[in-house]
Structure 1
């Protein structure tokens, strides 16, 4: 039924359906603490992406007890940046966390909607600690609820199907008429990571 509802919404927007797609497997949910730790780390690394001093961000993560929440790839990136300046590739990689952070804010009920057609809002920082102003992680630590399973499943299924439609359109050389593919990919990565605790953040393929 959810699959049919997702496809109906997709067609109502004038997009298309990938008929080969199956239903999502059963969920294997992550704990809220894991979700909050990932949100905290990605928020901190966004500061790095936009030029904040890496030692300051590292010290903040250590003070908040979040160093263990960094993935192996994130640790390597930070260590490499201590020897040489952060590369353009690394900065762009971290900047993609914007959309994943926005998706996790939806998961944690900080925002009401996660529209496939709208980029993350300008007020995103209102929900997150302002690290350069020496705020602690209380804004994230105090969060206590996640979306209900049914609501989460409906949105993930919709993103799953819209994303693959976007991938197909890009392969056909089309550039307009559908949501931004990278936005869909980064949000869907975060949503799918929450949905299946066996997934490894560093090793997740974008087109899951």
Structure 2
């Protein structure tokens, strides 16, 4: 896949995160359309972009809030984020790493400062996050709690990494079974 494909996904997801933090879906839809990216949004995202602010459900908002974890992984893949560690939260600087809706930035702001990490490094992370996800699911199913790792965080970061190495797979169709 070409670099722009991943940059476009990051851009769309960055816009969707704004909806999770009370931006009007119509404004985000317009921003995405102005960049010629609307054809790349998922069905889930389209449904939200067609709603008014009051029609977006709390469940949809929560799902969009989880996007930051996937974004954190994707900006690592694109070489923008060098602080991608399993037990660290998303950095406060994520907003500076992605196109800013408020400044009407488009995805071209990412092109000059990105590169794809090596396949080897990406696959190492995919393997690590798969194993961590499996471990946390197993622990949960056996009534154990892990105090340092959050299953949702690991799962969302894994989703992004799996998507990168699964060409042609739709974002919402990534298999996260363990």
- Report the TM-score, using the length of structure 1 for normalisation: 0.79
Contact conserved, 2:163 with 2:171, CA < 8 A, in 1?
yes
Give the Cα separation in 1 of the matches to 2:122 and 2:174: 20
Counterparts of 1:61-76 in structure 2, within 5 Å, are 61-76=32-47
Deviation at 1:206, TM superposition (A): 3.3
Q: How far did 1:32 drift?
A: 1.6
Deviation of 1:144 after TM superposition, in Å, equals 4.3
Query: Does structure 1 retain, via aligned residues, the 8 Å contact 2:7–2:107?
Result: no
Q: Name the CA shift for 1:178/1:139 in 2 (closer, same or farther; >3 Å).
A: same
Bigger relative contact order, structure 1 or 2 (CA pairs below 8 A, ≥6 apart) = 1
| Residue deviations 1:16-71 (CA, integer Å, cap 9, x gap) | xxxxxxxxxxxxxx332221111010000000111012221111111111111101
Structure 2, unaligned runs of 5 or more? none
Of residues 137, 149, 159, the one that matches 1:189 is 159
What is the match of residue 30 of structure 2? Answer: 59
Over alpha carbons, which structure has the higher Rg? 1
Give the CA RMSD over aligned residues: 1.7
What secondary structure sits across from 1:131 in the alignment? coil
Q: Distance in 2 between matches of 1:88 and 1:72?
A: 18
Q: Is residue 2:82 matched to residue 1:112?
A: yes
Task: Indicate the residue corresponding to 1:99 in structure 2.
Answer: 69
Q: Report the counterpart of residue 19 of structure 2 in structure 1.
A: 48
> Aligned residue for 1:166?
136
The separation in 1 between residues aligned to 2:9 and 2:148, in whole angstroms, is: 29
Matched residue, 1:19: none
Bigger Cα displacement from structure 2, 97-106 vs 149-158: 149-158
Residues 44 and 57 of structure 1 are in contact (CA less than 8 Å); yes or no, is this contact kept in structure 2? Answer: yes
Q: CA deviation at 1:151?
A: 1.2
Whether 1:33 aligns to 2:24 is no
Partners in 2 of 1:87 and 1:34 — Cα distance?
29
Give the drift of 1:126. Answer: 1.1
| Paired residues of 1:60 and 1:131 also in contact (CA < 8 A) | yes
May I ask how many residue pairs the two structures share in their alignment? 178
Rate the CA distance shift 1:95–1:56 in 2: closer, same or farther, 3 A. same
Stretches of structure 1 that go unaligned for 5 or more consecutive residues are 1-29
Deviation at 1:107, TM superposition (A): 0.2
